[in-house]
């Protein structure tokens, strides 16, 4: 099962074998044995493999058919999230993350154009994020969240989802980042082309082509996406 799932996820997120090998730090022969179901990686390597393929260990092992990674928080609204928990959430596990103004639109597409090289993020209120792991490593002010529009990052990020991202410029190949390229603000996967070379911006939706960052482009990284908040949309009344 793990072999078929590895191959399927590679195709879905369009990550090349050599890129995958670099991230999980194994040989091509080892990966080939996994793909042919000759043997399986150990538990620690399974975690690295799942992270590199933007999915969960449970999906790779055939325990679920949902490829959504564990860091994707599926919630409706903040109120519903609170009401759905039988036990109270400790206050130290709640982060009130600054919310970027809806006038600044984060595109999961080919980018929203702005008159400046990179728009300054303006904030309007906060969004509660219930996450013990995040709260252990981040403070409220070290994170931001934005609403996404577009479908280029499906099936991982849907139109209307909220992404929570840090303020770090650091990334490795395969990370999903909030970036701005020549005035176009977007959320994309970043793929390394080697040391000293500009990255490729990649969508998970195959209908969208890769975007090449040129050496003379204005390119700014705002931060790495750490969580996805799935916001339920009201159903139309028939």
Same domain, 108 and 42: no
**At 32, which CATH number?**
1.10.260.40
Yes or no: say if 34 and 6 are a contact pair by the CB < 8 Å rule: yes
Q: Verify that 59 and 148 share a domain, yes or no.
A: no
Band the pLDDT of 169: cuts 50, 70, 90. Answer: confident
Would the pLDDT of 150 be above 60?
yes
Residue 233's pLDDT band, with cuts at 50, 70 and 90, is low
Q: Which of 47, 70, 93 is the last residue of a domain?
A: 70
65 and 84 fall within a common domain:
no
- Residue that finishes a domain, picked among 52, 70, 88: 70
What digits encode the pLDDT tens for the residues 75-128? 333 333 333 333 344 455 678 888 998 888 888 877 666 666 667 888 888 888
Residue 237 falls inside a structural domain: no
Residues 12 and 38 in one domain: yes
Whether 55 and 97 share a structural domain: no
* pTM of the model as a whole: 0.59
**According to the model, what pLDDT value does residue 83 have?**
33
Query: Is 107 a member of any domain?
Result: yes
The residue out of 43, 70, 97 marking a domain boundary is 70
Structural domain range at position 156: 73-230
Same domain, 100 and 56: no
Residue with tokens 């909220």: 162
Same domain, 138 and 215: yes
Any domain includes 236 = no
238, part of any domain = no
- Tell me: do 205 and 220 sit in the same domain: yes
User: According to the model, what pLDDT value does residue 187 have?
Assistant: 92
Q: 53 and 81: one domain?
A: no
State how far the Cα of 50 lies from the Cα of 231, in Å rounded to an integer. Answer: 24
Mean pLDDT of the chain: 79
Q: Which two tokens stand for residue 201?
A: 């911006």
What's the total number of domains in the chain?
A: 2
Neighbours of 44 (CB within 10 A): 8
Mapping DSSP onto H, E and C, the string for the chain reads CHHHHHHHHHHHHCCCHHHHHHHHCCCHHHHHHHHCCCCCCCHHHHHHHHHHCCCCHHHHCCCCCCCCCCCEEECCCHHHHHHCCCCCCCHHHEEEEEEECCCCCEECCCCEECCCCCCCCCEEEEEEEECHHHHHHCCHHHEEEEEEECCCCCCCCCCCCEEEEECCCCCCCCCEEEEEECCEEEEEEEECCCCCCCCEEECCCCCCCCEECCCCCCEEEEEEEEEEEECCCCCCCC
């Amino acid at each position: 099962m793990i072999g078929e799932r590895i191959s399927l996820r590679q195709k879905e997120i369009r990550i090349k074998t050599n890129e995958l090998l670099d991230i999980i730090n194994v040989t091509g022969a080892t990966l080939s044995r996994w793909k042919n179901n000759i043997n399986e990686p150990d538990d620690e390597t399974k975690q690295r493999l799942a992270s590199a393929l933007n999915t969960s260990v449970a999906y790779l092992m055939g325990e679920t058919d949902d490829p959504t990674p564990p860091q994707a928080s599926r919630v409706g609204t903040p109120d519903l999230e609170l009401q759905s928990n039988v036990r109270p959430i400790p206050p130290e596990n709640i982060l009130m993350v600054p919310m970027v103004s809806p006038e600044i639109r984060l595109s999961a597409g080919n980018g929203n154009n702005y008159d400046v090289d990179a728009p300054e993020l303006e904030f309007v209120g906060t969004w509660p994020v219930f996450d013990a792991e995040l709260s252990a490593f981040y403070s409220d002010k070290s994170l931001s969240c934005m609403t996404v529009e577009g479908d280029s990052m499906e099936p991982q990020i849907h139109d209307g989802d909220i992404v929570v991202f840090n303020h770090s410029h650091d990334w490795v190949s395969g990370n999903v980042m909030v970036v701005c390229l020549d005035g176009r603000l977007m959320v994309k996967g970043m793929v390394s082309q080697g040391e000293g070379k500009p990255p490729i911006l990649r969508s998970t939706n195959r209908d969208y082509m890769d975007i090449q960052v040129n050496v003379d482009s204005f390119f700014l990284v705002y931060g790495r996406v750490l969580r996805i908040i799935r916001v339920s949309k009201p159903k139309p009344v028939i």
